[in-house]
Chain A
């Protein structure tokens, strides 16, 4: 049985990797426009799928449903937080950035604020955000390999590096985009099939979102949890304060709209119109996973409680998936009071005898629902697709910040097309190596990726771009100070509130900032940025005429002047 699953998994992984490599070869590019922005000819729907795959990381795929099932109502921080930002992107940023029509986020910030210093700050923010994010993805690849194919994590990371390096170095943004489109379908099928099966089993409705809303399963889980001494699943603010749920949700929304690897995807479509539409397609594709995840969370938790609670430990251990996941350490059964019966209650309470890693929720679903080994293999391939697609988008964002923004725009504006392409390829290759290294030896800050990436995106890039479009009076001084102070404030706050994880101090140096946790501090950083930018810009010189003309121009899709082409 286990051998069976492994053989199928291996086959499926080899087939999907073969497809990714083939696309990289097919899409090989010869110029910088194709390398950085896929020649600006990606259709809106395909870009939507690519954004979705870019967006949904190993964590969204493997961990999110599990996290939600433990957070209950408060899990909304991820559900609304990681989807709401697309409305901001579609309405406030994407169309105008597409009209601006260059290659990167620092491109816009540097040009709009007529300053190479600001460009450099934006490039460094881009590199830091992407680096923390990508290290986690490479580790995710290693973890999937080790769990499903009993390969060492290090070897898994190296295999992942080799695959990404191949299609990213050769195909640039074009190769990355089309592999992401395929990766999207692999990962979404992998999550939907088991979810539909378990929904049918528990609610009689095969569409998980409907089973979740139109059956009493959530209510049953909520009552069951209360009976067992756990939190009421359906009641708000059981795990986090209302203020924190608010701050974190908003920070993740703003952060989404400030993530460079997502923003650049809007440069790859052919016109302003497609930028607006592709944001809509992206959210449809993303919502498929994000509306299924809370349903899976409820179904799986309900199932797990019923499988374990009040059952004899020896009976439970005879279930094949139980022993398998117990071996991996993701599931812990411990009959503390020696009565032979398992008690499942609040994790922290001393009487609890079942400990569950949140990842189990998704990983075990196919087995719990008694689906064929093929589906189990599909989940493995889906996890890899999620990790690889996100990693490749981030690697491109990092390498273009170095090769385009720092090298070409600042240090060597006279560089030829050929040199720029070469540097772009070298940089993406180096980025793969760095990401792989951090994936194998993750430093403390990698575990705090959500706080860092989203907090910094929200506090630095999002306000700078937004003001650049909507506030014509915003000038270099205002933006530069706004970004610098917003960024440093957020960075310092996160470091102080996560000092245990990052520096290994005994206790956190700072518990919270006025009750707001590290995950939500980006909102405060963004407000600081907005205020500072506003005050400084109004007390210094207005931006030059050509800059306000540029702002006028990006606000309309096409200036309908008489000089028709």
Chain B
């Protein structure tokens, strides 16, 4: 197996993965720690329907965004796995740990 080529592609896969993780974590921090806590006071004056915006983020909104982030990651990674041909194909359960597991 062409070790060089393989690791080249893997490195690229890993880089894209990292970029996706960083993007999603920036959103993660901005809806929770920033909108819900750091900007709690200024955002209290803007209303989201019947609730102050920061309160809504702190008590409802951030949780909804968290769900969205995880599913986005799962979907995007499924695509990335396929593109780089690294998705797992489960053949048999009992393939011992040394081979493809550990």
Report how far A273 CA is from B79 CA in the complex, Å. Answer: 11
A463 → B minimal CB distance (Å)? 16
Contact of A555 with B14 in the complex, beta carbons under 8 Å: yes
What separation, in Å, do the CA atoms of A168 and B42 have in the docked complex? 50
The residues of A that contact B51 with a CB separation of less than 8 Å are 212-213, 218-219, 234
A245-B37 contact given A212-B60, A277-B74, A555-B10, CB 8 Å threshold = yes
Chain A nearest CB, measured from B87 CB (Å): 6
The stretch of A71-79, A258-266, A345-353, A487-495 in contact with B is A71-79
Is A557's beta carbon under 8 Å from chain B? yes
Beta-carbon contact of B77 and A276 below 8 Å: yes
Q: Which residues of A317-355 have CB atoms within 8 Å of chain B's CB atoms?
A: none
Mark each residue of chain A from 243 to 280: 1 if its CB lies under 8 Å from any CB of chain B, else 0: 00110011001000000000000000011110011011
Segment at the interface with B among A83-91, A130-138, A304-312, A366-374:
A83-91
Contact (Cβ within 8 A) B102 A102:
yes
- Which B residues are CB-close (under 8 A) to A237? 40-41
Asked whether, in the complex, the Cβ of B40 is within 8 Å of the Cβ of A291, the reply is no
State whether B74 touches A276 (Cβ < 8 A). yes
* Bound-state Cα–Cα, A466 to B83, Å: 26
Q: Does A559 contact B (CB under 8 A)?
A: yes
Which residue in A87, A111, A557 is a CB contact (below 8 Å) of B69? Answer: A87
Assess whether B73 is in contact with A276, with CB atoms less than 8 Å apart: yes
State whether A214 and B73 are in contact (beta carbons under 8 Å apart), knowing that A101-B101, A234-B44, A561-B1 are contacts in the complex.
no
Q: List 24 A-B contacts (CB under 8 A).
A: A75-B59, A80-B32, A80-B58, A87-B66, A100-B102, A101-B101, A101-B102, A209-B60, A212-B60, A213-B48, A236-B41, A250-B33, A271-B90, A276-B70, A276-B77, A279-B74, A287-B67, A291-B63, A294-B59, A556-B84, A557-B88, A559-B10, A560-B86, A565-B91
Does B46 have its Cβ within 8 Å of any Cβ on chain A? Answer: no
Given contacts A556-B10, A558-B89, 10 further A-B contacts (CB under 8 A): A73-B58, A75-B59, A87-B25, A91-B69, A217-B50, A273-B78, A273-B88, A279-B74, A291-B60, A294-B60
User: Judging by beta carbons under 8 Å apart, are A235 and B44 in contact?
Assistant: yes
Give bound CA distance, A217 to B55, whole Å. Answer: 14
Q: Establish whether residues B14 and A215, one from each chain, have CB atoms under 8 Å apart when the complex forms.
A: no
Give the residue of B1, B37, B59, B90 whose beta carbon is less than 8 angstroms from that of A562: B1
CB neighbours of B58 from chain A (8 A): 73, 76, 79-80, 236
How many angstroms from the CA of A424 to the CA of B48 in the assembled complex?
A: 52
Q: Which residues of chain A have C-beta atoms less than 8 A from B71's C-beta?
A: 280
Chain A: how many interface residues by the 8 Å CB criterion?
A: 66
Q: Are B41 and A83 in contact (CB under 8 A)?
A: no
Most buried by A among B21, B66, B89: B66
> In the complex, what distance in Å separates the CA atom of A86 from the CA atom of B52?
26
Contact of A76 with B59 in the complex, beta carbons under 8 Å: yes
What 5 A-B pairs are tightest by C-beta distance, nearest first? A76-B58, A236-B40, A280-B70, A276-B74, A101-B101
Q: Are A84 and B66 in contact (CB under 8 A)?
A: yes
Complex interface: chain A residues within 8 A of B88 (CB): 271-273, 557-558
Q: List the B side residues contacting A276 at CB < 8 Å.
A: 70, 73-74, 77
Q: State whether A558 and B87 are in contact (beta carbons under 8 Å apart), knowing that A87-B28, A237-B40, A276-B74 are contacts in the complex.
A: yes
- Docked Cα-Cα span, A555 to B16, in Å, equals 12
CB <8 Å contact, B32 and A242: no
Residues of B contacting A90 with CB < 8 Å? 70, 73-74
Residue count of chain B within 8 Å CB distance of chain A:
57
Known: A213-B60, A242-B40, A273-B78. A83 touches B50 (CB 8 A): no
Contact partners of A215 in chain B: CB under 8 A: 50
Whether the pair A219, B59 counts as a contact (CB closer than 8 A) is no
**A residues in contact with B25, CB < 8 Å:** 87, 91
Q: CA separation between A558 and B64, bound complex, in Å? A: 31
Q: Do A550 and B10 have beta carbons less than 8 Å apart?
A: no
A416 on interface, CB distance cutoff 8 Å: no
Contact B91–A79 (Cβ < 8 Å): no
Contact with A along B2-37 (1 / 0, CB 8 A): 000011001001100100010011001000110011
A79–B33 CB distance below 8 A:
no
Task: Tell me if A73 and B40 are in contact (CB < 8 A).
Answer: yes
The distance in angstroms between the C-alpha atoms of A236 and B21, with both chains bound, is 30
Determine the distance from Cα of A111 to Cα of B102 in the docked complex, in whole angstroms. Answer: 10
- A41, A76, A86, A214: the one within 8 Å of B70 (CB): A86
Given contacts A87-B70, A102-B102, A214-B50, A291 and B64 within 8 Å (CB-CB): yes
Q: Which of A92, A237, A270, A558 gathers the greatest number of chain B CB atoms within 10 Å?
A: A558
With A and B bound together, what is the CA distance between A280 and B25 in angstroms? 15
Chain A 421-440: CB-based contact to B (< 8 A → 1; otherwise 0) = 00000000000000000000
Q: How far does the Cβ of B56 sit from chain A's closest Cβ, in whole Å?
A: 7
CA distance A555 to B28 in the complex (A): 22
Of A90, A209, A216, the most chain B CB neighbours within 10 A belong to A90
CB contact list, A166-198 vs B, under 8 A? none
Is the Cβ of A558 less than 8 Å from the Cβ of B102?
no
Contacts known (A75-B59, A249-B32); A40 close to B93, Cβ less than 8 A? yes
A46 close to B (CB within 8 Å): no
User: Contact at B38–A246, with CB atoms within 8 Å?
Assistant: yes
Partner of A559, one of B32, B59, B86, B91: B86
Task: Please pick, from B6, B33, B73, the residue contacting A91 in the complex, using a CB distance under 8 A.
Answer: B73
Tell me whether A270 and B7 are in contact (CB under 8 A): no
Rounded to whole angstroms, the CA-CA distance of A236 and B62 in the bound complex is 16
**A552 close to chain B: CB less than 8 A:** yes
Q: Is A539 an interface residue (CB 8 A)?
A: no
Contact A92 B21 (CB under 8 A): yes
B62 to chain A, nearest CB (A): 5
Q: Tell me, rounded to whole Å, the shortest Cβ–Cβ distance linking B94 to chain A.
A: 9
State A239–B53 Cα separation when bound (angstroms). 19
Instruction: Name the one of A39, A76, A91 contacting B37, with C-beta atoms under 8 angstroms.
Output: A76
